[in-house]
Amino acid sequence: MICTEIILSSKLIKKIFNQPVKPFFEISTDTRTMQAGDVFIALAGESFDAFNFIDDVICKGCAIFVYNFDESRASKTELLSIKHPNITFLGVTDTLQFLQEISKNHVQDLKKKQLKHVIGITGSNGKTTTKNILNHLLNAVLGEKLTCTKGNLNNHIGVPLTLLKISENHVTSIVEMGSNHPGEIDFLCSLANPTAGIITNIGKAHLEFLYSQEGVLQEKRCLFDRVMKNTQNDGVFIINSDDKFLNTLPVYKNVVLIGKTRKNIFFLKNGVEIISQNEKISLHNNELTGIHNFYNLAVAFMMALMLFPDEKSKLINAVSSFKPSSNRSVWIKEENKLIFMDAYNANPSSMQAALEGFIDKCSKEKVLKENICFVLGDMNELGAIGPALHEEIGGLIKKMQGKNAIFVGRFAKNYQKGFGESSQIYQDVNELLKDWKKIKKKYEYFFIKGSRSLQLELLMDIT
């Protein structure tokens, strides 16, 4: 909830009809989820303008309607304000900038009250899983005093909406931050004003605009720099020291490096052991797969422990009950089939880590290679080197002695070039669905992963 004073203090307001009467409001940008009494901000883009839904929003009972002001809309909104004197009509120079401005001012206001920690999380892979684990752990300690990014609201619109969900009752907020262009993390940090942070890793992701892993590091480290600036180099920051790029960041008082190179992390059968302040802490979870996810668990746990050291036992107990969210590194059992599903996102780094984790589990369970089927979709936003990176992953599966592979999407032939002609290729998931029932009968274990746009999760909807 945001107070009315912050809304009305915006420097972007050009015209106002009717004064709001409530002291606090919820913010909405989606007509489908807006509730009566909300502030509705009519965002506009190249192919849409939510101002066109003004009549629907009024019917649903919005309290304040915020729109991009121009003279052509002045007469309509003035007439509507006379017809609906209980609704405030707020014309601003730019609704997106308005959303971002009030979210920033909202956080600054709450930091003067009870809000103590704003934890930023970014990285090439695993940031959403790490966020979910940290949210699960801290929920055991803070309960309703904690707020966290929902879903993947991690961009220039999602982060402001996340910040506006922080209320006066919250003491800690977890904010996921995503980026695919230079400067985006720094901008998101300027809104959230983080005081602690995690960068999961620096991988081959979003290379279309960040060009190289060095470019990814420069973009992601903006979170580190902002946290240190906001806290006079005293903020808690967790770094995976086994990442050669992150290992170049400076180490301050509350910067914790965790990794095999520091000899303070050891991987167990279904867990990880951390050495913190000369004490061994064993963390066990049967739902996570792969070393990469146990790294995520380790860094999330260390962040929680650093912020709330007196709650160690609660945090340890909470580890075992964490379960990955739908379509994210989750194991699904269907009759006598076991399916690893990660249809939410994919880049070369996350694909390799997921494949290694999957193969490790299959090896431990002594699954025959002939009974395993790999289903891989496109890895998007890789720029000119995308085809070569898909070929590398195809070659990796071959090197892992994979026998059966299906490749889906516009880079399917590149995958196949690396793996070999014995693989099957499909133009899209709808084409694959025609053969899926027959394919499922042939194998016992399935690895399914690709970028979100491929919609590989549709394979699970077919019975």
Phi-psi sector, 131: left (phi>0), alpha (psi -120 to 50), beta: alpha
DSSP 175: E
- Torsions phi, psi for 173 (to 5 deg): -130, 135
Architecture (CATH level 2) of domain 2-93: 3-Layer(aba) Sandwich (3.40)
Q: Is pLDDT above 50 for 463?
A: no
| Proportion of the chain above pLDDT 90, given as a percent | 81
Q: What is the dihedral of CA 260, 261, 262, 265, to 10 degrees?
A: 0
Q: Is pLDDT above 90 for 332?
A: no
Alpha helices by DSSP H, listed for 91-149, are: 95-111, 127-142
Tokens representing 39? 């502030």
Closest CA to 204 of 385, 396, 404, 28: 385
Distances (CA, A) of 165 to 27, 102, 171, 342: 8, 12, 13, 28
Q: What is the pLDDT of residues 341-395, one digit of tens each?
A: 988 788 898 899 899 989 988 998 899 999 999 999 999 989 899 999 999 999 9
Q: Element (H or E) spanning 319, and its range?
A: helix 312-319
Query: Is the model more confident about 7 or about 327?
Result: 7
Q: What is the pLDDT of residues 17-61, one digit of tens each?
A: 999 989 999 999 999 999 999 999 999 988 889 999 999 999 999
Q: Is pLDDT above 90 for 445?
A: yes
Closest CA to 139 of 350, 391, 319, 338: 319
Q: What is the DSSP string of 367-391?
A: --GGGEEEEEE---S-GGGHHHHHH
Q: What is the dihedral of CA 248, 250, 253, 254, to 10 degrees?
A: -50
| Proportion of the chain above pLDDT 70, given as a percent | 99
Provide the whole-model pTM: 0.84
How do strand 279-284 and strand 117-122 relate by DSSP bridges? unpaired
Q: Is pLDDT above 80 for 75?
A: yes
Q: Do the beta carbons of residue 125 and residue 299 sit within 8 Å?
A: no
Strand partners, 117: 172
pLDDT band at 461 (very low <50, low <70, confident <90, very high): low
Q: Is pLDDT above 80 for 325?
A: no
Residues in CB range of 197: below 8 A, 6 or more apart: 119, 120, 121, 122, 223, 224, 226, 227, 235, 236, 237, 238
Average pLDDT over residues 142-158: 94
Residues in CB range of 180: below 8 A, 6 or more apart: 206, 208, 209, 210, 381
Residue extent(s) of CATH 3.40.1190.10 domains in the chain: 113-319
The residue count of the chain comes to 463
Phi-psi sector, 61: left (phi>0), alpha (psi -120 to 50), beta: left
Tokens representing 174? 């977890």
Instruction: Specify the CATH number for 330-461; select among 3.40.50.300, 3.90.190.20, 3.40.50.970, 3.90.230.10.
Output: 3.90.190.20
Residues in CB range of 73: below 8 A, 6 or more apart: 51, 67, 91
Burial string for 289-304 (b: 16+ CB within 10 Å, else e) reads bbbbbbbbbbbbbbbb
- Domain 113-319 carries which CATH code? 3.40.1190.10
pLDDT band at 290 (very low <50, low <70, confident <90, very high): confident
Distance CA 445, CA 337 (A): 6
Distances (CA, A) of 369 to 86, 392, 393, 401, 418: 67, 20, 18, 7, 18
Q: Is pLDDT above 80 for 69?
A: yes
Strand order across the 372-377 sheet: 330-334, 337-342, 445-449, 372-377, 405-408, 424-426
Average pLDDT over residues 323-338: 80
Q: Do the beta carbons of residue 28 and residue 36 sit within 8 Å?
A: no
Q: Is pLDDT above 50 for 192?
A: yes
Distance CA 14, CA 12 (A): 6
Distance CA 408, CA 428 (A): 6
